[in-house]
Amino acid sequence: MSNASVREKVYANDGNPEVLRWVPSSARRILDLGCGAGGNAAALSGRVERIEGVTLSEEEASRAREVCHEVFVHNLEEGLPRDTHPPYDVVLASHVLEHICFPEKLLRDVATQLTPGGTLIVALPNLMNFKFRIPLIMGRFEYQNGGIMDNTHFRWYTFKSGRRLLEAHGFRVVRAYASGHFPLPFIGRLMPPAIRRWIDLGATRFSPGFFGVQLIYVAVKD
């Protein structure tokens, strides 16, 4: 997948609730890596003093500038842009590290631009989710135009290796879990939502690598 192909993609959503829920209420300055069209920034609007975004796509940047104070068009493979405005209370990396072949420089840069006690919040797709394990066992590995098998994903992480990546680059993981669901295709529709959420929570806690759809890490600079 060439950089030109990556630049053509536009990721637009309402933000990642599992990432946004861990943004401290005291956070004032935020950097959103792989900001897409600005979904996280829009969700944080009014809560923070300044939010900056980084994207490889000119079209995403144009849309994200409507909700971000500043957006940098930059290849994160090279680390952070030189003209950001640190320090940051929070750096968001929601479904971005899997797009980077060599994230070491980026993570080192993030560690230098966080405030003391600042937070890095990471979300990664879980290739080992049960829906994908059976095709993998059967020898099928087919990229798609989005989702976990997005054809711009270069790296894959397990629940344990995602944590090791952060810890190897100066971060202490204070929270790690998976969000996902337990497969109940028919009876699940009849269950009260609270019961269904309880089952999903229990399943992802029991086996985050099997039932998780995305892997969530909240880390502080060690």
Instruction: Please tell me the distance from the alpha carbon of residue 10 to that of residue 61, in angstroms, as a whole number.
Output: 9
pLDDT band at 6, cuts 50/70/90? Answer: low
Domain that holds residue 60: 3-221
Query: What is the average pLDDT score of the chain?
Result: 91
- pTM for the whole structure: 0.90
Task: Check which CATH number belongs to the domain holding 51 and give it.
Answer: 3.40.50.150
Number of structural domains the chain divides into: 1
Share of the chain above pLDDT 70, in %: 96
100 CB-contact burial (10 Å; exposed 0-12 / middle 13-18 / buried 19+): buried
Tens-digit pLDDT profile for residues 115-172: 999 999 999 999 988 988 888 888 888 887 777 888 889 999 999 999 999 999 999 9
